[in-house]
Structure 1
């Protein structure tokens, strides 16, 4: 049993969640509301947000700082993503975004980090905001990419076969909640993994058990993988990136770390649990 980090509660006031309808953001909004916090959510399409009624949902795009003044008004803590715009590209306006946050009274932030740091992290490093970077290995929900093939053919076909310490999105949100509402997390970089490193075949077997049907895994060679990615409409640069990732996975992909339990005080959720929660997505 890992000893949780010392928890010193604070009153964060109004918390803004950006990316509020995303895989992590939606969980974070729900967990903050359940814990009794005041939450404002940022969405590009508020009418389709479908968030708890207690949540104030405002329209805005992180790529357009001019659209964010109202969203940041009165906010003292914020959860940030680093992507924006129509294509989900890395934000390049970090300086303007963080200046707005500081002027609005933001004192605490969490950042859902990606492969590389962006202008958001660079700007935060120069700011007076106490911030925490969340660095998940791979989302469990990436398995939803397999759903069409499972529904149509009862099989998953791909090149990558390496184990990944996939982490539940709700656990990423739980770590963000603690960092936003308790002292002692500013300046930390939290590498986040799930409790097991599982190969695609092992994850597919757990999905099959949850769904109650047989699902097979077929390992492709490199040329077959290129054909699969092209058939799915990916451009050539992404196709080659996919090949490199499948054949040369990052060293930390299978590394298990106890961060979720250390920060939240409870073990991370298993992929078996995730599969049960999402079984309907894989049923024809």
Structure 2
């Protein structure tokens, strides 16, 4: 390659939008471009003479690095997504390729690594996946995630020959509250209700919002209906305490229906139907009530 081509190549690598690192065979960094410096926070003088270990985030195990080195030392190209450590200690994600460079004798003399920062894309993807399974208003699981967890709980409980409870909760007089105080207060109330339900439950339990003012609760380690009623009573008390939303004090309550696996059903449809019917029975009884599904 003549000097003009070398200058052109150097200019292209320097101007590349992706981070570029050139190392010797032993890993010592001999050249980096400006994009790498922006990605990592290291200046050219700070990086040269170091090894890529300065980027190690401890998010990958030793087997990952062993496979990487085994691949490139055998003259093959390595490609992966890698979490790297910025000079300030924060982490970022790159799509990385490492390619061996051979000398005239056919021996590996250097490696060239291309690092494309994909942190923003990964965060956007994670946000999309989160919103696909969580309620946008309250942040708790939505209908899709509720069904997934219910099916998982049924499968696990069936295998262990156990028992669990499913609850349906519907807020009493929510529509008049929404109509009187507006949707902003209504939304704040739903957020507060979700937080109060979550504060009563254990980490192994699930609370989900199906839509509107309807919530569901899965209690995977309940032994019988008496335990379920105890939890229902705690939920009822938590939900019925006054809410201070802006300048308004809001009072609401919940009608709660309970279905027990396998007594009231062994499939998701059977249990949902049973818990939903029990919830409407509670409403008909006079609201702020708890009802058990009928067999």
- Structure with higher Rg: it is 2
TM-score class normalised by the smaller sequence: under 0.3
Normalised to the residue count of structure 2, the TM-score between the two structures is 0.22
Greater share of residues in strand: 2
TM-score (norm 1): 0.23
